[in-house]
Structure 1
Amino acid sequence: MKNIVRYSPSTGSGSPDVWGIYEADTGSIQYIVADPQTREAALVDVVQNFDPHSAKTDFSSADQVLALAKENNLKITWVLDTHPHADHLMASWYLKEQTKAPNAIGEKVCEIAELWSDYYNLPNTFEPTTDFDYLFKEGDSFKIGELEVNVWLSPGHTLGSITYIVGDAAFVHDTFMYPDSGTSRADFPGGSSKDLWNSLQRILALPENTRLFVGHDYGKGGRDPQWEATVAQHKASNIHLAGSVSEAAYREQRDERDATLALPDRMLHALQVNLRAGKLPEPEADGHRYFKIPANRF
C-alpha cells in the first residue's frame, strides 16, 4: 500500500510548495519542498524501509517520493536530512545516486558519529565528511531554485539536529509533534530537554503564519496522521507548551515522560547506517552485510 500523501501549496511569493509523504511503519513524514517558479525541489528526511524482524531493507518509500516528484515535474537539486534518525534508516545515499543531487545534514553529525563509534566499538568507521556533500552549520543558507533556505541548529532531540526554514515553511523534525501530541523526546545520547526547550522557543518566535512541518505523527486517539500546523496553532494548543508554561515545568514533564519510553525498535540498526548517510555496513568476506548491535549498553 502506498504511503499517505498531502499537498500544502505555496501561499505566495517566496513561499514553497510542500508535499508530505507519511511512512506508516515508523510514523515518519518525508517531504518534498519546491520552488513553484523554477520547479526545483529538495527532499527532506526520506525513509529507507527496514523490517526489524528480518533485517531486510528496500527503497519503496524513497521510490514513491521520487515518482511523486516526477509526476509534478520537479527537478531534485538537494537531498536533505535534519539529523541522524533513531527510528528509521535514511535514504540519503540512494537518493543522491538516483538524482545526482548533493546530500546534506548538520555539521554536528561528526560529534554524533564520535559518540556512537564508542557505543558500537567501531573506531574510525563513520566518516560524515565523506558520505555527505555538505555539513551545514548554524546560520548557513542555500537556495532551492530562487527560494532561500536558512539553517538553524535546533538541538535537544539530538545534539546536532537542524531546522530548514524556507519562506513561510519550517521543517522542524523531532522538536515539535502535532499540537495534540506535544513535543519530541530528548533522552537519546547527546539529547537534552534544556536544549530542546530553547530550540522550541526559538521556533515559536517565527512569524505566526509559519507552517511547521514535523518529523513524526502516530495518529493520536485513532485520528488520521497529521503533520502541519502553524506557529499560532502551536502557541494556542500544543499540549506541552500552550499557556504560560515555564522552562522548569516543561523540562520536568519531558524528562518524566522520556524515562518511561523504550528505545525505538530500529534505533540500534539505524544509527550505524544513518551515520553513513544511509549506506549499509560494508560487505564482509562472504559478500554479505551485517549489523553490529551492542548488548547491555542501554
Structure 2
Amino acid sequence: MQVHSFLHSDTETYTHVLADVQQQLCAVIDPVLDFDPKSGRTSTADIDEVIAFVRGQNWQLVYIIETHAHADHLSGAIHLQETLGGELVMGRHITQVQKIFKQIFNFDTSFRTDASQFDILTDEGDSLALGAITITAMHVPGHTPADMAYIATDDEKTVVFVGDTMFAPDVGTARCDFPGGDAKTLYQSIKRLLALNDDTVMYLCHDYPSQGRKHCPTTTVAAQKLGNIHVKNGINEAEFVEMRERRDATLDMPRLIIPSVQVNIDAGNLPEPEANGTRYLKVPINVLGQ
C-alpha cells in the first residue's frame, strides 16, 4: 500500500491517492476543482497534477471516493472520471444532505435526492476491494449526516481517511453548525475513530497549521488521543459539545459554501447550461449563517 497526498493550497484541502502498487490499481480520495469566486471561473490545474501523477505511475483508477459533500471546495470528481475513469463513491446518507439543500436552494423536481448521481453508495461496514487492499466504510456523522471515514488495510498496515471529522491535533475537530450537523453525534463518531489502534495513520482532508508549522497530511490515533485540543483523552461528551457549539457560533460560513454544496450534492456536476450556453449557480439570500 502506498498513499500520496496533494495539497490544494487555496482551500488547504488534501487529495489522497491510495494505491496497490503491485497490481497497479488506485483510488483518489476527495479531488478538488479550482474555483475563483470573484470571477466564477473553474480550472482543473490542481487535479490535473494528480491525473499526471497517476498516469506517470501507469496505475488504473478504480474508485473516486468522496468522504462527504464538502462545503469549502468544489469536487473535481467529474473531470477526474472523464479523464481516467473509475467509479464515484459516496456515503449512502448523502440523500439526507441532498434533501436538506434541495430545499435551501429551491431546486426544481429534476434534482434527484436518491443519490443516483453516484456510482457506488457505502454504508457502515461496507467494503471495497482495491487489489490486495480492503477499504472499509465507517459512518461518522456529526459534521454532516453523511460523513464517512474509509479504513484501508492490507497485509502490511492500516490507515484511515477521516474526511473533515478530525483535523491535526493542534487544529481540533470539524464544525457542526451546518444544516443536519450535531456536536453530540460528532463526539460519538470521533470516539469510534479513536478506538482504532494507536499506530493507525490518519489521512486528513484539511490542514490549517498553527503558526510555525508546515502543512501535513497525516497524524496518528495516538497523537490525537494525546493532544487533540478538542477531544484528547479526558475530555467528556458534555465538555466537547459545550465547546463545539460555543465555538461554532463564532465562525463565519466557509468562503465557498454556496457554490460548493450545490455542486457537490450533485456528484460534482456543474448546472446544465441555460439557453445562452452559460451555466449558473444560485445564491440563497439570508438563509445560511447567523
Which bracket does the TM-score occupy, shorter chain normalised? Answer: over 0.9
Q: 1:247 aligns with which of 237, 258, 261?
A: 237
Which structure 2 residues correspond to residues 174-253 of structure 1 after superposition, within 5 A? 174-253=164-243
1:100 aligns with 2:90: no
Q: CA deviation at 1:125?
A: 3.9
Q: Which residue of 2 aligns with 1:272?
A: 262
Structure 1 portions without partners, runs of 5+: 1-15
2:211 counterpart SS class: helix
Q: CA deviation at 1:237?
A: 1.2
The amino acid across from 1:28 in the alignment is T
* Cα distance in 2 for residues equivalent to 1:252 and 1:71: 48
1:206 counterpart SS class: coil
Q: CA deviation at 1:121?
A: 0.7
Which structure 2 residues correspond to residues 60-209 of structure 1 after superposition, within 5 A? 60-127=45-112, 129-167=115-153, 168-209=158-199
* Cα distance in 1 for residues equivalent to 2:160 and 2:74: 22
Counting aligned pairs with the same residue, the percent is 37
How many residues were matched structurally? 283
Cα contact 2:149–2:163 (8 A) shared by 1 = yes
* Cα distance in 2 for residues equivalent to 1:125 and 1:51: 27
2:160 counterpart SS class: strand
* Cα distance in 1 for residues equivalent to 2:105 and 2:237: 34
Higher mean alpha-carbon deviation, 265-274 vs 72-81, is at: 72-81
Normalised TM-score (structure 1): 0.92
1:263 aligns with 2:249: no
Higher mean alpha-carbon deviation, 196-205 vs 63-72, is at: 63-72
Normalised TM-score (structure 2): 0.95
Query: Are the structure 2 counterparts of residues 129 and 245 from structure 1 closer, same or farther at C-alpha, using a change threshold of 3 Å?
Result: closer
- Which runs of structure 1 show a deviation greater than 4 angstroms over 4 or more consecutive aligned residues? none
Q: CA deviation at 1:100?
A: 1.8
- String of CA shifts for 1:42-65, please: whole Å, max 9, x gaps: 000000110011111111111111
RMSD over aligned Cα atoms:
1.2
Q: CA deviation at 1:173?
A: 0.7
